[in-house]
Chains A and B, each alone.
Chain A
Amino acid sequence: MGRVSSCKSHTRGVNLWRILIHYLKPHWALLVAVMVFQFAQSMASLALPTLNADIINKGVAAGDTGYILGTGGLMLLISVGQVAGSIFATYFGSRLAMSVGRDIRGEFFAKVGKFSERDVAVFGTPSLITRSTNDVLQIQMLVLMGSTMLLSAPILAVGGVITALGLDFNLSIIMAVSVPVLLVVIGFLLSRMIPLFRLMQERIDRINQVLREQLTGVRVVRAFVREKTETARFDEANAQVTETALKSGRLMAFMFPTVLIVLNMSSIAVLWLGSYRVDSGAMQIGTVMAFLQYLMQILMAVMMSMFMAMMIPRAAVCADRVSAVLHTEPSVVATTTPISTKSKAGDIEFDDVTFAYPGAEKPVLAKLNFAIKAGTTTAIIGPTGSGKTTMVNLIARLVDPTEGKVLIDGVALGDLDMDELWTKIGLIPQKAYLFTGTVAETLRYGRETASDEELWKALEIAQAKDFIEALPEGLAAPVVQGGTNFSGGQRQRLAIARALVKQPEVLIFDDSFSALDLTTDAKLRQALARELPNTTKIIVGQRVASIKHADQIVVCQDGQISGLGTHAQLLANNAIYQEIVASQMTAEEAA
């Protein structure tokens, strides 16, 4: 759900400035170029009314046709210069904005690459995706709009005021009044409107939520005869949206008439005051006309940049979200002085391991002690939330324990080179996620040098040979993102095969048989036992049938080990295990 729920939080924009300064710095030359060209084109725009004034004052008033034509030619040249200036400014502005976007994205991606699973969990994967795509885009858009419109407004305003001052000080006072008035008026309207827009978004979200519930629950709504309640719920949300829309519409209605009235009243003031200046001979009529045009240009520029400024609060929220990620220190850090393991057997030991999320009341795992002997099969079972997946993540060092340590082949994971650890481990995660590519590429994900025979062998063990063989392209068959062109069960088997191809010392199955039917499940386990007798296997599962033949079964409960032993032992003396078994099998089966 990529909805910009971001809009809800308030921000002072500190992070936005930090990000902008940090990422603009390397491209300072581009920024300078943008400014120079923006300045040039703004000055050119301002020169036109002055020249027009000259045409009137010196040409028209004196009846000098030659002067009119000559100045006209000059105006033409300046127009060409102005368009050239804007095009260059756009060129450098686009380059600047895209560079900033590219750089932020790059650093963001690299940062997430260093994150542990715990760090990822803090933000959530969907949120990380939104942040790296949409949020960065918003910042990039701000830089783009900023370097084209936001920047030119102050230049135009300052330049306009300077030019105006040069022409006539007294008339410039009008600008000194009308620009702040316009700023205040628009600022006031915007400050009222932006919260309304936010509220509007929230209420639209609400209406969409009610509708989504109605659609997904259409059977329940009808079965319980709740259509009228639902309609009432919807009507309430609908009325709220309409109310907010009316409110913001009322404010919007003020926007343009107000801007126009400020502009028009200023023009009238210019003419009125100007007439006295002309009468006293201090000013010429053409200059008054030029003034009218400056006023128009400057007020328009101010107005434009005010609207552009509406992007800032939104971009500021995005900047907060992006910098939160950029400023997170990865919780798993590779050691600089790695020790190598002596044996390559796959012995694993949990030594007083505790794991807690920061700020959590209860640890996920508390003081865990147990060992897994190389070449054996260990099963971990227990209710959801009992810490099974965390145990798996600890072994793969996707998270680090808060206390105690996990050892593999006698070396603490923290002292081991990460790459060395990860070559030892084959992980089949709960969600069998496959990457885009072909079946062969998928299987070779952990070991690119594997031969076709090795791939087929792995597929055979994983009970995936049949359906891959049945594909017309075989190993060259495409795998779409996430592997969604395969069924859940097929995906799981491919994920298992992928881990097998890697030939790790330890295989970890994190609830990896859940989508398999019981027959396939059984065949797969038999094949694993037969073909990979020396590999350490760790099976996390819910199904008693999948795990009852393990060498040892770890029963988890509330972050602690409530029982450890074989199926028969646990069945005899562990109450929780008995309960689990009883819920899945009838008495005679369990016996």
Chain B
Amino acid sequence: MSNAAPQKKSAARMTAPSGAMGGRPAGGMGGRPGAGIGMPTEKSLNFGPSAKRLLGRLRPERSRLVLVIILAVASVTLSVLGPWMLGKATNVIFNGAISAKLPAGVSKDQVIAGLKMQGKNQLADLLKGMDLNPGHGIDFNALSQLLLIVIAIYLGAFLFGILQARILNVSVQNTIFKLRRETEAKLHRLPLSYFDTIQRGELLSRVTNDIDNVSQSLQQTLSQVLVSLLTVIGVLVMMFSISPVLALIALISIPASLVLTSLIAKRSQKLFVNQWAKTGQLNAHIEESFTGHALVKVFGRSKAVEAKFAELNGELYKSSFGAQFVSGIIMPSMNFIGNLVYVGIAVIGGLFVANGTLSLGAIQSFIQYSRQFNQPLAQLGSMANLLQSGVASAERVFELLDADEQSADPVDAASSTQRTGTLTFENVQFGYNPESKLISNLNLSVKPGQTIAIVGPTGAGKTTLVNLILRFYELNGGRITLDGVDIAKMTRDDLRSRIGMVLQDTWLFKGTIRDNIAYGNPDASEEQIIEAAKATYVDRFVRTLPLGYDTILDDEASNVSAGEKQLLTIARAFLSRPTVLILDEATSSVDTRTEVLVQRAMAALRKDRTSFVIAHRLSTIRDADLILVMEHGDIVEQGSHDQLIKQDGPYAALYRSQFEATDA
């Protein structure tokens, strides 16, 4: 598990609404994603096609999405109309206020002519552009009508906005639900070889973090890109229709803020890189000092360690201060440009009103538009980053979905009615990659009830043999039969339900002890579970636990030791009642007394069953009916213990080396 990833997610989730505020890119220390400036965004290899494919996954939702678009257009149109209507209302008030000061009974032209005579040309110009009714005050009828319309408009925008967001949410969640489900289903169809070629952590990250990330970015980008884009267009249209000159002034702010932002971002990026480097150094030092806590003390290094910490901490302070400060300037700078535009509109707009080319209400609505204009633009910018990272994640998920699957089970699968446990290897050839054969020509015949011990150094192919019996891998040549039927002709489920397995790594899932024992046989009754537990020495320690069989096992389960976990896996195999058994004897540091129990439990399990044991203990090996000595993928020797000792070959050498070392 990586440390950073899950936190990144929750951080993104917690601050989800912040994007919509057009807030400063939250380029915090440590670097959260979704924070636009200075973040090393993961670049996708193939942005276009992957983005297209991601969108393609939304196809089943298309009727909803069409509705979303219609609602978004309606909602944005209405909210863009709002300021314009409010401007009209302002005009009504202004007209009324001016009209009230004029004598009643004269016409507008007469007033203007009168003003010009008095030399008040500027005031005359102002009035020219107004709709005056001298002598009368504010037309409250017209005003209330206008305001009622505005109320209706905003309520409409409100409702459509909510509907739009809710429907979109459903579409995105449906899509992600299916993507997750498909990915999980895919995992079960992948051949085991796939899991060898890819690091487990990497794969885990794809099915968890990457899908999370796709979900996050899809959710945020889809809704915001649409609304922001529509708003920008709507606002632009309104601004140009009010005054092209003022609109141009507002537009100048775009390149200005772009240039300014990129100038600052360029500087802050370097500072952020430095900050990350220092953070990394400090975290490494902390990790090291805490992990080696006892050593630091006993070796008398406390002072040195603290001095180094102080030094690194100071450096981090300096570098993160610089990075935060410089990136923190972006927001005020953008505001500054916004204010400049505001001043420009106030002054030039004021002049336009004064000379009668624009109404006062128009200026007011223009100011509102210009405030609405920058925000969605900034959002579109940050969406680009989010989208980029979302598509990169989607690409990795798609790669997994596209991976070659294991061959399908044969349609008319053969099955054996007898369950005796006869197993044969006939001219078996195998290699993990076809060029280098690990097993060149293996022949083996196992009778029911026999115990086969497989011995040999690490990497000799012991586990491979097990993998082939379970058909985790396909043969390159020859065949393996179980109870007379070629295992490649059986369904995998049929084959594997006949085989039980106990591996070295004691995999148990988070759940109760009872469910874990019943894993291979979910239909088992309580009596059968307890019977299996008793036979494998599990019952004894389970009864000492406060919750007994209801004890939940998880990663941190400290109440169950490694050895006891091993016993549980044995009980699990016992209950699945296989005809063939595969055992990997553990060498891990199980404490000595539990070890005795593990051995006894394994012996109980082997009774009357064909068993393959990857053997590490002399006692097991000596009791085996057949010992296979493997080296470099081949069986170099086979026979009983006594026969092999007599032969004085590799087995005898191996035996002696262990024997003598133990006696030293």
Instruction: Establish whether residues A223 and B507, one from each chain, have CB atoms under 8 Å apart when the complex forms.
Output: no
Residues 88-121 of B contacting A (Cβ, < 8 Å): 89-90, 92-94, 96-98, 100, 120-121
**Size bracket of the A interface:** 35 or more
> In the complex, A473 Cα to B56 Cα: how many Å?
56
Instruction: Establish whether residues A579 and B294, one from each chain, have CB atoms under 8 Å apart when the complex forms.
Output: no
Partner of A278, one of B97, B147, B350, B470: B97
In chain A, what residue has the closest Cβ to B127? A63
Cβ of B411 within 8 Å of any chain A Cβ, yes or no, is no
Q: Do A225 and B300 contact each other (CB < 8 Å), given the known contacts A60-B354, A62-B123, A396-B294? A: no
Instruction: Establish whether residues B346 and A250, one from each chain, have CB atoms under 8 Å apart when the complex forms.
Output: no
Cβ of A497 within 8 Å of any chain B Cβ, yes or no, is no
Cβ of A406 within 8 Å of any chain B Cβ, yes or no, is no
> Could you say which residues of chain A place their CB within 8 Å of the CB of B204?
208, 211-212, 215
> In the complex, A445 Cα to B155 Cα: how many Å?
72
Instruction: Establish whether residues B659 and A589, one from each chain, have CB atoms under 8 Å apart when the complex forms.
Output: yes
What's the nearest-Cβ distance from chain B to residue A237, in Å? 9
> In the complex, A201 Cα to B13 Cα: how many Å?
9
Interface 9-mer from B44-52, B320-328, B390-398:
B320-328
User: 1/0 per position for B154-180, CB-CB distance to A under 8 A?
Assistant: 110111011011100110111011001
Residues 236-272 of A contacting B (Cβ, < 8 Å): 238-239, 241-242, 245-246, 249-250, 252-258, 260-261, 264-265, 267-268, 271-272
Instruction: Establish whether residues A436 and B93, one from each chain, have CB atoms under 8 Å apart when the complex forms.
Output: no
Q: Do A215 and B9 contact each other (CB < 8 Å), given the known contacts A55-B347, A249-B166? A: no
User: 1/0 per position for B169-211, CB-CB distance to A under 8 A?
Assistant: 1101110110011001101100010010000100110011000
Instruction: Establish whether residues A307 and B21, one from each chain, have CB atoms under 8 Å apart when the complex forms.
Output: yes
> Could you say which residues of chain B place their CB within 8 Å of the CB of A219?
192, 470, 472, 501, 503, 507
Residues 445-476 of B contacting A (Cβ, < 8 Å): 470, 472
Cβ of A275 within 8 Å of any chain B Cβ, yes or no, is yes
> Could you say which residues of chain A place their CB within 8 Å of the CB of B291?
125, 129, 433, 482
> Could you say which residues of chain A place their CB within 8 Å of the CB of B592?
383, 542, 579-580, 583-584
Partner of A102, one of B125, B314, B594: B314
Q: Do A224 and B496 contact each other (CB < 8 Å), given the known contacts A2-B7, A102-B314? A: yes
> In the complex, A2 Cα to B1 Cα: how many Å?
8
Partner of B289, one of A41, A109, A284: A109
Q: Do A257 and B162 contact each other (CB < 8 Å), given the known contacts A144-B324, A208-B208, A218-B195? A: yes
Instruction: Establish whether residues A209 and B510, one from each chain, have CB atoms under 8 Å apart when the complex forms.
Output: yes
Cβ of A328 within 8 Å of any chain B Cβ, yes or no, is no
> In the complex, A148 Cα to B332 Cα: how many Å?
10
Partner of B7, one of A4, A110, A265, A583: A4
In chain B, what residue has the closest Cβ to A230? B188
User: 1/0 per position for B271-304, CB-CB distance to A under 8 A?
Assistant: 0000000000011101111111111111111100
In chain B, what residue has the closest Cβ to A194? B14
Instruction: Establish whether residues B150 and A129, one from each chain, have CB atoms under 8 Å apart when the complex forms.
Output: no
Cβ of B151 within 8 Å of any chain A Cβ, yes or no, is yes
Name the residue in A45, A60, A95, A580 with the highest tally of chain B Cβ atoms < 10 Å from its Cβ. A60
Q: Do A253 and B166 contact each other (CB < 8 Å), given the known contacts A207-B180, A518-B664? A: yes
Given contacts A106-B309, A257-B159, 11 further A-B contacts (CB under 8 A): A1-B1, A82-B335, A83-B339, A105-B313, A148-B331, A223-B470, A230-B188, A234-B180, A238-B177, A249-B173, A260-B157
Instruction: Establish whether residues B292 and A435, one from each chain, have CB atoms under 8 Å apart when the complex forms.
Output: yes
Q: Do A59 and B350 contact each other (CB < 8 Å), given the known contacts A98-B320, A115-B293, A212-B204? A: yes
> Could you say which residues of chain B place their CB within 8 Å of the CB of A241?
180
What's the nearest-Cβ distance from chain B to residue A64, in Å? 7
Interface 9-mer from A163-171, A340-348, A368-376, A418-426:
A418-426
Q: Do A83 and B195 contact each other (CB < 8 Å), given the known contacts A393-B294, A522-B661? A: no
Instruction: Establish whether residues B295 and A427, one from each chain, have CB atoms under 8 Å apart when the complex forms.
Output: yes
Partner of A3, one of B7, B368, B472, B662: B7
What's the nearest-Cβ distance from chain B to residue A487, in Å? 12
> Could you say which residues of chain A place their CB within 8 Å of the CB of B13?
197, 200-201
Cβ of B30 within 8 Å of any chain A Cβ, yes or no, is yes
> Could you say which residues of chain B place their CB within 8 Å of the CB of A529?
none
Instruction: Establish whether residues A254 and B328, one from each chain, have CB atoms under 8 Å apart when the complex forms.
Output: no
Cβ of A537 within 8 Å of any chain B Cβ, yes or no, is no
Q: Do A83 and B335 contact each other (CB < 8 Å), given the known contacts A133-B283, A398-B298, A580-B593? A: yes
* A–B pairs, 24, beta carbons within 8 Å: A3-B6, A68-B354, A86-B335, A95-B321, A102-B316, A105-B282, A109-B289, A112-B289, A207-B180, A208-B204, A211-B208, A216-B505, A219-B501, A222-B470, A223-B582, A231-B188, A238-B180, A245-B173, A271-B143, A285-B90, A307-B18, A419-B300, A436-B288, A542-B592
Partner of B299, one of A207, A253, A445: A445
Residues 306-351 of B contacting A (Cβ, < 8 Å): 306, 309-310, 313-314, 316-317, 320-321, 324-325, 328-329, 331-333, 335-336, 339-340, 342-343, 346-347, 350-351
> Could you say which residues of chain B place their CB within 8 Å of the CB of A3?
1, 6-7
Residues 398-425 of A contacting B (Cβ, < 8 Å): 398, 418-419, 422-423, 425
Q: Do A253 and B162 contact each other (CB < 8 Å), given the known contacts A94-B328, A427-B298? A: yes
Count contacts on B: residues with CB < 8 A to the other chain. Answer: 174
Q: Do A217 and B295 contact each other (CB < 8 Å), given the known contacts A59-B350, A223-B470, A223-B496? A: no
Interface 9-mer from A21-29, A176-184, A289-297, A450-458:
A289-297
In chain B, what residue has the closest Cβ to A386? B591
> Could you say which residues of chain B place their CB within 8 Å of the CB of A105?
282, 313
Cβ of B599 within 8 Å of any chain A Cβ, yes or no, is yes
Instruction: Establish whether residues A398 and B93, one from each chain, have CB atoms under 8 Å apart when the complex forms.
Output: no
> In the complex, A130 Cα to B503 Cα: how many Å?
33
Q: Do A249 and B593 contact each other (CB < 8 Å), given the known contacts A90-B329, A215-B187? A: no
Q: Do A223 and B499 contact each other (CB < 8 Å), given the known contacts A2-B4, A93-B328? A: yes
Cβ of B367 within 8 Å of any chain A Cβ, yes or no, is yes
What's the nearest-Cβ distance from chain B to residue A24, in Å? 16
Cβ of B663 within 8 Å of any chain A Cβ, yes or no, is yes
Q: Do A446 and B300 contact each other (CB < 8 Å), given the known contacts A68-B347, A223-B499, A275-B140? A: yes
Residues 128-179 of A contacting B (Cβ, < 8 Å): 128-130, 132-134, 137, 140-141, 144-145, 148-149
> In the complex, A258 Cα to B28 Cα: how many Å?
29
Instruction: Establish whether residues A125 and B293, one from each chain, have CB atoms under 8 Å apart when the complex forms.
Output: yes
> Could you say which residues of chain B place their CB within 8 Å of the CB of A79?
336, 339-340, 342-343
What's the nearest-Cβ distance from chain B to residue A416, in Å? 14
Instruction: Establish whether residues A56 and B151, one from each chain, have CB atoms under 8 Å apart when the complex forms.
Output: no
> Could you say which residues of chain A place their CB within 8 Å of the CB of B86?
267-268, 271, 292
Instruction: Establish whether residues A120 and B619, one from each chain, have CB atoms under 8 Å apart when the complex forms.
Output: no
Instruction: Establish whether residues B97 and A285, one from each chain, have CB atoms under 8 Å apart when the complex forms.
Output: yes
In chain A, what residue has the closest Cβ to B208? A208
Partner of A220, one of B30, B92, B507, B596: B507
Instruction: Establish whether residues A83 and B332, one from each chain, have CB atoms under 8 Å apart when the complex forms.
Output: yes
Cβ of B416 within 8 Å of any chain A Cβ, yes or no, is no
> In the complex, A511 Cα to B333 Cα: how many Å?
62
Instruction: Establish whether residues B180 and A72, one from each chain, have CB atoms under 8 Å apart when the complex forms.
Output: no
Instruction: Establish whether residues B321 and A98, one from each chain, have CB atoms under 8 Å apart when the complex forms.
Output: yes
Cβ of A519 within 8 Å of any chain B Cβ, yes or no, is yes
Cβ of B3 within 8 Å of any chain A Cβ, yes or no, is yes
What's the nearest-Cβ distance from chain B to residue A165, in Å? 22
Q: Do A222 and B351 contact each other (CB < 8 Å), given the known contacts A83-B335, A385-B561? A: no
The 7 closest A-B pairs by CB, nearest first: A63-B122, A2-B3, A249-B169, A518-B661, A253-B165, A72-B347, A86-B332
> Could you say which residues of chain A place their CB within 8 Å of the CB of B17?
252, 255-256, 307
Cβ of B20 within 8 Å of any chain A Cβ, yes or no, is yes
Residues 281-309 of A contacting B (Cβ, < 8 Å): 284-285, 288-289, 292-293, 296, 303-304, 307
User: 1/0 per position for A486-518, CB-CB distance to B under 8 A?
Assistant: 000000000000100010000000010010011
Instruction: Establish whether residues B147 and A272, one from each chain, have CB atoms under 8 Å apart when the complex forms.
Output: yes
Partner of A217, one of B320, B351, B472, B507: B507
What's the nearest-Cβ distance from chain B to residue A354, in Å? 21
Cβ of B402 within 8 Å of any chain A Cβ, yes or no, is no
